[in-house]
Amino acid sequence: MLNFALFGAGRIGKMHAQNLQAFVHSNLKYVYDVHAPAAQEVAKATGAKVAESVDDALADPEVDAVLIATSTDTHVELIIKAAKAGKAILCEKPIDLNTATVNACMEEIKDCDVPIQIGFNRRFDPSHSTAAKAAHDGSVGKLEQVIISSRDPGMAPVEYLKSSGGIFRDMIIHDFDMARFILAEEVVEIQAFGSALVDEKITEIGDVDSVMINMRSQSGRLIHINGSRRASYGYDQRVEVFGSEGMVISDNQTPTSVVRYNTDTTGVKDPLFNFFTDRYGAAYNLQLTAFIENVLAKRPVSPSFEDGRRAQILADAAQRSFDTGEKVKLTW
Amino acid sequence: MLNFALFGAGRIGKMHAQNLQAFVHSNLKYVYDVHAPAAQEVAKATGAKVAESVDDALADPEVDAVLIATSTDTHVELIIKAAKAGKAILCEKPIDLNTATVNACMEEIKDCDVPIQIGFNRRFDPSHSTAAKAAHDGSVGKLEQVIISSRDPGMAPVEYLKSSGGIFRDMIIHDFDMARFILAEEVVEIQAFGSALVDEKITEIGDVDSVMINMRSQSGRLIHINGSRRASYGYDQRVEVFGSEGMVISDNQTPTSVVRYNTDTTGVKDPLFNFFTDRYGAAYNLQLTAFIENVLAKRPVSPSFEDGRRAQILADAAQRSFDTGEKVKLTW
Amino acid sequence: MLNFALFGAGRIGKMHAQNLQAFVHSNLKYVYDVHAPAAQEVAKATGAKVAESVDDALADPEVDAVLIATSTDTHVELIIKAAKAGKAILCEKPIDLNTATVNACMEEIKDCDVPIQIGFNRRFDPSHSTAAKAAHDGSVGKLEQVIISSRDPGMAPVEYLKSSGGIFRDMIIHDFDMARFILAEEVVEIQAFGSALVDEKITEIGDVDSVMINMRSQSGRLIHINGSRRASYGYDQRVEVFGSEGMVISDNQTPTSVVRYNTDTTGVKDPLFNFFTDRYGAAYNLQLTAFIENVLAKRPVSPSFEDGRRAQILADAAQRSFDTGEKVKLTW
Amino acid sequence: MLNFALFGAGRIGKMHAQNLQAFVHSNLKYVYDVHAPAAQEVAKATGAKVAESVDDALADPEVDAVLIATSTDTHVELIIKAAKAGKAILCEKPIDLNTATVNACMEEIKDCDVPIQIGFNRRFDPSHSTAAKAAHDGSVGKLEQVIISSRDPGMAPVEYLKSSGGIFRDMIIHDFDMARFILAEEVVEIQAFGSALVDEKITEIGDVDSVMINMRSQSGRLIHINGSRRASYGYDQRVEVFGSEGMVISDNQTPTSVVRYNTDTTGVKDPLFNFFTDRYGAAYNLQLTAFIENVLAKRPVSPSFEDGRRAQILADAAQRSFDTGEKVKLTW
C-alpha cells in the first residue's frame, strides 16, 4: 500500500484523486492546494485530510509518495522538497518551462535517491503504446518513419496562452516525448515551421497556433509532428509507425461503435472525444498504476526525470528553429 | 446514498461489488453467498460486512436495496423475500427459467410497492442504446427492420449447459429483450430455426448451439436474431436498426484503435473483446447508476419485472417454434 | 473470338454491348430489339448490325453466341430458338417467372448440347466471390451461418411491380442464388416473413416490400436473407459468411475512399452506389469474360440453367411459405 | 472526334492506347515507338497504324492531338515538334528533369497556340480530387494544413534510379503538384529531410529513398509530404486536408470490400493496390476524358505546361534544401 499526498486539486488533481481512491494499492492521505476550498472538496469526496501545508504533508513519515499536479511554475520547488524528504514523486509535465531551471533542479536533487516519474500519460495509452511496441519488437520490421498528429479540440484565449511557454513547450512537448518513446534513440536534427492560422492575435505574444516539425534521429529515421491548437471535430491524436515490413496506426477514437447510414452520407460515426480526460482516461489510470506498482516493487519508474528534461530540450530546439528559421542540430 | 446488500459473490457479484464501492451514491453494507469464502473475499476488498444470512441482511432497516446475483434458481425466492422486506431490487436476468414460476412470483409480490429492475445490461450499452434511440426518435425515419447478431466467444461444456434452460432462455433472452427495447411494441409472430453446428453433443440434451429467429411485430416490423454459442474471433455483438430514412449499426468493438498494415493484409485490428465483463463493462456501470439514481429519485426503474417476464415469454415461444417446427403466434 | 448476337437493347443490353465491344475476344455482330431505335442506337455506338429478326441473326453461322437481355417473358422462347440453332447462350435472370415453364423449356432443349449461363452477375462480384471462396476453401473453418442483406436503393411504382412476379421471384432470386453459391449444397427448409412497410399499396397486388427469410441446408447450416425494396442510403448489398474459425463479410462500397471529419460527425463516407450497374459493374464485366473464356475453351459455363431453375424453386417455396404462413420443406 | 497519334508504346503507352480506343470521342490513328515491335503490338490490339516516324504522324492533318508517353529525355523535343505542327498535346510528367530545358522549351513554343496538358493523373483521382474540392469550396472551412503520404510499393534497382533525376524530381513531383492543386496558391518556403533507409546503396548515386518535406504557402498554410520508395503493404497514397471547420482524408484503397474476422485479428482487409495502373486506373481514364472534352470544346486544358514547370521548380528547391541542409525560399 502506497500512501500519497496530492499537491494541486484542480481539474487534473481531482482526476488523480479519484484514481488514487479507487485503486486497491494506493491511499490518498493528504491533499493540498493553495486554494483551500478545492482541497476541501477533494478531501470530502475521497476521505483524505486537507494538509495545512506542503511541508506538513511531507513531514508525515507515513506518506510514501507525492503526486504533483500544481501549476507548472511550482513543480521544481515541490520536486526538490519531496525528493529531499525521500518521497517517491509523480509530477505532471512539464518539469518547468525553462530548461536551465530543470537542469538546476537536477543538480539540486542529484543525491536524493527517490523515484521520479514525469506525467507523459500518452505513453500509457493502450493504442499509442501498442504502436510503440510495434516499433520496438520488429512488428513493422526496421523502423523508418514516425508521424504524429496532435490537434487540440479548441484553443484557449490568447491571454491565457501568454504564460504557456509557447506551443512547442506547452503542447507539442507531449509529442516530442512520444517521438522519443517510439524511436528509442535521440533526435539530432530538427526544423520547425509555424503559422498563426487559428487566431491571428497569437502573433502578438510571439507565438503560433499551427506547427509542422520534421526531425531526424541518430540512425537517420525521419519523424514528422503536426500540431494545431484547434480541431473542429475534436481531439485529434494519431500516431503512425512505418517500417520496412509494415505500418501501425494508432487511430482516433469515438465514444461509441455506432455507424450511421443516411440519405447523403454513410459510415458516420460520433465526434471524436473532445477532451484529454476522456480520450486519455485509461492512460491516466495506467500511468498511476505503473507508478504505484514500480515504486512498491522498487523497480525504476518511467518516463523518468531525464525523459522530461530531454523532451524539453527538443521543445527548446523547435522553438529556436522556428525563431531563426534554421535547422537546429542536437548533440546528446 | 443507497445502502446495498449483495446476494451472490461469484464473478458477476464481484463486478457489481466493485461498482457499488466506487460510486459516490451507493454503499455496499452486506454481502452474502452460500459459499462463505466468496463473500469474505468481497467483504475484504470493499469493506462490506458478511451477512449471516439473507434474512439478517434484509432485517437491517438501513438496507435500502438488494442486488441479486445468485444462481438463477434462487432469484424468485430472493425477489419475494426482498420485496416483502420493502427493499428496492436489482436482479440479474433471467427471473426464472420457468415462466409459470415467474407468473407465480408476480402474483405473490403484487402488493409490494418496491422498484424491481431486471439486469438486461445491454440496454445500457452506449452503442446499443444509441441505436435504440435512433429507432425511437425518428433518426432512421419509420422503423422497418431490426437485426441482432449475438455470438458468444466460446461454448460452455455441454454438461454445464444441461441446466441452462436451453439456448433461447439462457442466451438469446438478452436479444429478445433488446428487440423489445428497440421496437417499443410487442412481437406477435415468431419462427425459430436451430442446429447443432458447434458441438453435436448438444443434441443429447435436446438443445442446439446455432439459431436463427425471425419475428414480426404488432405493426408489421420484421426482426431477425442470429445466435451462436461460439465465435472464434470473440464476443460478436451487433445491432442493426433499419428505417425509411436510414440505418444505424451498433458495431463490434476492439480494445484499442490500432490498425495494422502488413505485407498480406491491411486494416488489421485487435480481436474483439472476448468476454461480457469487458465488452459490457460500461453497460454494467450505467445499469447500476440508473438503478441508484432512479430509486433515490423515486422514479420508476427500467427494464422492469414485466420486461423480464415478457422476454421470457418470447424465449418460450422460440423454444416452442423450434420444438414443433411451426410459427408461433403471440397475443398480449 | 466469339461472335455475338445481342437480343434486347435496353439499359442492361446497352451495358452488355459496351462490354462485348471492349473485349478483345468477343465481337458484337448483331443487335436486335423489338423497339428498332434502341437497336439502332447500340449498332451505331458499337459498329454492330441491326438484325432484321431474331431468326435472321440465329441463321448466320458466324454467330457463336447469343446474349439474351430482353423482357423476362421472352427468355424461354429465345433460349429454345438459340439452343436449337446451336448457339452458346448467356441469358439474364430469371429464366421465367413460372417454374413450370422453366421445366418445359428444360425438357424442350434437353438434347441441345449448348452452353447456357444464367445472368446471376453477383457470383462474379470480386467481394462476394471472395466471401464465397472463404466458405469453400475453409478460411472460415466449417461453414455454419450465412447472412445476406439485399436492399434496393428505391422502389419501382406499384403499377410496374404488378408483373414482376413478386418480390421473392423478382428481387430475392439473386439472394437465393447467392445462398446456393455459398452453401454449395441445397436448402431443405424455408420460412418467409413479409410486410408492406415501404408502400402500403403493394398489398393491393398481393405482394410485400420487406422480407426476412430463414433457411436450413441439407447439413443443417442456417441462412438468413433480409430484403427491402428501398434503402434511403443506396444499394445495400452485404454477405456474411460465418464458420467455426472466423467470419468474412463482403461489405458495402462507396465510390471514393474519402472520409470526412466535421464538427458533429466523423468517419463520414460517400453514399453507397445507388444502382446495380455501378455497384456490380465489375461483376457484369467478369461474368461476360467468364462466359466467353469458358465457351471458347469448351469448358462448362456457370451458373448453369439448372442453377437458374433451382433458385426459382427457392423463390417459389418462399412465396408459398409467405402465402401459407408455414415453413416449407424441399426435396431435391 | 479527336484523332490521336500516340508516341511511346511501353507500359503506360499501352494503357493510354486502350483508353483511346474505348472512348467514343477519340480515335487512335497512329502509334509510334523507337522499339517497333511495341508499336506493332499496340497497333494490332487497337486497329491503329504504326507510324513510320514521329514526323510522318505529325504531318497528317487528320491528327488532332498527340499523347507523349516516351522516355522523359525525349518529351521536350516531341512537345516542340507537336506544338509547331499545331497539335494538342497530352504529355506524361515530368516535362524534363532539367528545369532550364523546360524553360527553353517554354520559350521555343511560346507562339504556338496549342493546348498542352501535363500528365499529373492524380489530380483526376476521384478521391484525391474530392479532397481538393473540399479545400476549395470551403467544406473544411479555411484551409490550414495539407498532409500527403506517398509511398511506392517497391523500389526499383539503384542502377535504374541513376537516371531518374533523384527522388524529388522523379517521384515526389506528383506530390508537389498535388500540393499546388490543393493549395491553389504557391509555396514560398521548403525544407527537405532525407535518409537512405530502404537501400543504403542509394547513397552511392547521391540520392535517398525516404523523405520528409515541410512547406509554407504564400498565406502561411503548412504542408507536409512524406515519401518512401517502398511500402511493404502496397501503394500507400493518402491526402489529408485540414481546415478551420473540418478535415477530409482521401484514404487508401483495397480491391474488394471484404473484411475478415479471424481468431487473432479482426477487420482484416485486402492488401492495398500494388501498382499505379490499378490504384489510379480511374484517374488515367478521367485525365484523358478531360483532355479530349476540353480540346474538343476549345476550353483550356489543365494541369497546364506551367503547372508542370512549377512542380519542377518545387522539386528543384527540395533537392537544393536537402543538398544544403537549409530552408529554401521561393518567389514567383
Query: For the purposes of burial, counting CB atoms within 10 Å of the CB of D188, is it exposed (0-12), middle (13-18) or buried (19 or more)?
Result: middle
Looking at residue B191, its pLDDT comes to 98
Looking at residue C157, its pLDDT comes to 92
Among C246, C253, C256, select the one facing D260 at the smallest CB separation. C246
Any B CB within 8 A of A22 CB: yes
B193-B197-B201-B207 Cα dihedral, nearest 10 degrees: -20
> With an 8 Å Cβ cutoff, are D256 and C134 in contact?
no
The confidence band for C47, taking pLDDT boundaries of 50, 70 and 90, is confident
> With an 8 Å Cβ cutoff, are B195 and C220 in contact?
yes
- Give percent above pLDDT 90 in chain A: 94
C-alpha cell at A325: 528559421
Looking at residue C316, its pLDDT comes to 97
> With an 8 Å Cβ cutoff, are A251 and B262 in contact?
no
- The DSSP 8-state label assigned to residue A123 in this structure reads G
Report the pLDDT averaged over residues C285-302: 97
Q: Helix C126-136 and helix C173-183: axis angle, to 10°?
A: 40
> With an 8 Å Cβ cutoff, are B260 and A252 in contact?
no
Looking at residue D23, its pLDDT comes to 80
C-alpha cell at A240: 503512425
The residue of chain D nearest to residue B269, with distances taken between CA atoms, is: D266
- Give percent above pLDDT 90 in chain C: 94
Among B145, B191, B228, select the one facing C228 at the smallest CB separation. B145
The residue of chain D nearest to residue B234, with distances taken between CA atoms, is: D263
Pairs of CB atoms within 8 A across A/D: 115
Residues 6+ apart with CB under 8 A from C159: none
Query: C122-280+288-329: which CATH topology?
Result: Dihydrodipicolinate Reductase; domain 2 (3.30.360)
- Give percent above pLDDT 70 in chain C: 100
> With an 8 Å Cβ cutoff, are C226 and B189 in contact?
no
All residues of chain B having their beta carbon less than 8 Å from the beta carbon of residue A24 are: 45
Other chains touching D, judged by 3 or more CB pairs under 8 Å? A, B, C
pLDDT of residue D245 exceeding 90: yes
Any A CB within 8 A of C233 CB: yes
pLDDT of residue A275 exceeding 90: no
Per-residue pLDDT tens digits for C128-187: 999 999 999 999 999 999 999 999 999 999 998 998 999 999 999 999 999 999 999 999
Per-residue pLDDT tens digits for A28-54: 999 999 999 999 999 998 889 999 999
All residues of chain C having their beta carbon less than 8 Å from the beta carbon of residue A272 are: 261, 266
The confidence band for A187, taking pLDDT boundaries of 50, 70 and 90, is very high
Domain boundaries, chain B: 2-114, 122-278+302-329
Q: Which CATH number fits domain D2-114: 3.50.90.10, 3.40.50.720, 3.40.605.10, 2.60.130.10?
A: 3.40.50.720
Any B CB within 8 A of D232 CB: yes
The confidence band for D275, taking pLDDT boundaries of 50, 70 and 90, is confident
pLDDT of residue A243 exceeding 80: yes
Looking at residue D22, its pLDDT comes to 77
Q: Helix A305-324 and helix A173-183: axis angle, to 10°?
A: 120
> With an 8 Å Cβ cutoff, are D210 and A145 in contact?
yes
pLDDT of residue A22 exceeding 80: no
List the pLDDT tens digit at each of the 332 positions of chain B. Answer: 899 999 999 999 999 998 898 777 899 999 999 999 999 999 998 889 999 999 999 999 999 999 999 999 999 999 999 999 999 999 999 999 999 999 999 999 999 999 999 999 999 999 999 999 999 999 999 999 999 999 999 999 999 899 899 999 999 999 999 999 999 999 999 999 999 999 999 999 999 999 999 999 999 999 999 999 999 999 999 999 999 999 999 999 999 999 999 999 999 999 999 889 899 999 999 999 999 999 999 999 999 999 999 999 999 999 999 999 999 999 99
Any B CB within 8 A of D270 CB: yes
Query: B122-278+302-329: which CATH topology?
Result: Dihydrodipicolinate Reductase; domain 2 (3.30.360)
Among B250, B258, B262, select the one facing A258 at the smallest CB separation. B250
Report the pLDDT averaged over residues A201-216: 97
Any D CB within 8 A of B154 CB: no
Any C CB within 8 A of D99 CB: no
Any B CB within 8 A of A263 CB: yes
Among B252, B255, B257, select the one facing A252 at the smallest CB separation. B257
Nearest CA to D247 among A148, C261, A230, A198? Answer: C261
Any C CB within 8 A of D262 CB: yes
Looking at residue D47, its pLDDT comes to 86
Query: D122-274+305-329: which CATH topology?
Result: Dihydrodipicolinate Reductase; domain 2 (3.30.360)
C-alpha cell at A151: 490537434
B148-B151-B157-B160 Cα dihedral, nearest 10 degrees: -30
Looking at residue B47, its pLDDT comes to 86
Looking at residue C249, its pLDDT comes to 98
**Which range is least confidently modeled, C40-49, C215-224, D63-72, D79-88?**
C40-49
Looking at residue C23, its pLDDT comes to 80
Among B194, B233, B327, select the one facing C191 at the smallest CB separation. B327
Any B CB within 8 A of A272 CB: no
Among C250, C260, C262, select the one facing D258 at the smallest CB separation. C250
User: Which CATH superfamily groups domain A122-279+301-329?
Assistant: Dihydrodipicolinate Reductase; domain 2 (3.30.360.10)
pLDDT of residue A24 exceeding 80: no
| C-alpha–C-alpha distance, residues B145 and B221, integer Å | 6
Looking at residue A329, its pLDDT comes to 98
Looking at residue B28, its pLDDT comes to 95
| C-alpha–C-alpha distance, residues A282 and A253, integer Å | 13
The mean of the pLDDT values for chain D is 96
Other chains touching B, judged by 3 or more CB pairs under 8 Å? A, C, D
The confidence band for A213, taking pLDDT boundaries of 50, 70 and 90, is very high
Residue to substitute from C149, C214, C237, C247, interface B, most B β-carbons within 10 A? C214
- Give percent above pLDDT 70 in chain A: 100
> With an 8 Å Cβ cutoff, are B232 and D262 in contact?
yes
Alpha-carbon radius of gyration of chain B: 20
All residues of chain D having their beta carbon less than 8 Å from the beta carbon of residue C130 are: 256, 258
The confidence band for A21, taking pLDDT boundaries of 50, 70 and 90, is confident
The confidence band for D183, taking pLDDT boundaries of 50, 70 and 90, is very high
pLDDT of residue C273 exceeding 90: yes
What type of residue sits at position C243?
G
What are the backbone dihedrals phi and psi of residue D48, each rounded to the nearest 5 degrees, phi first?
-75, 165
All residues of chain C having their beta carbon less than 8 Å from the beta carbon of residue D22 are: 22
All residues of chain D having their beta carbon less than 8 Å from the beta carbon of residue B230 are: none
> With an 8 Å Cβ cutoff, are D220 and A214 in contact?
no
Among the residues of chain B, which ranges form H helices? 11-22, 36-46, 54-59, 75-84, 99-108, 126-136, 158-161, 167-170, 173-183, 276-279, 281-296, 305-324
Any C CB within 8 A of B189 CB: yes
Q: Do residues C132 and C254 lie in contact, with contact meaning Cβ atoms separated by under 8 Å?
A: no
> With an 8 Å Cβ cutoff, are A263 and B245 in contact?
yes
